[in-house]
Structure 1
């Protein structure tokens, strides 16, 4: 999943609307909309930290770090152990 998908899924899982999350993070609900739609991909370090805190999760979870790392490990393994 992408950051945009992860952000929206976590917000919805917590039952927050965009305006409520925006207030917690200190941005506008329009910013939340753009981030969730993928229109704006550069969020900024502080905003990522604020989002993670507001959504009771980690930055890694929001940006899909685990999925990325798993894909890289599989890629490295398949290169090291060709069929």
Structure 2
């Protein structure tokens, strides 16, 4: 699945897009100034997204990649 496919499925399932997840991650204390804090691991983000949004591992990792800056809304 392409990165865009992941984002589309996540939006369909949760009603939330990339900016929503950036805001929620900041509210949860996972990010600061738009960057994931060094103390936060991928597993922390995955557990949060699985618990709160019932996302699977791959979809949760897509959001992690987005928050980490590895991917963005224009990535394939």
How would you bin the TM-score normalised by the shorter chain?
0.3 to 0.5
- Bigger helix fraction: 1
Question: Could you tell me the TM-score, scaled by structure 2's length?
Answer: 0.37
From the CA coordinates, give the structure whose radius of gyration is larger. Answer: 1
Question: Could you tell me the TM-score, scaled by structure 1's length?
Answer: 0.36
- Structure scoring higher RCO (CA < 8 A, sep ≥ 6) equals 2
- Bigger strand fraction: 2
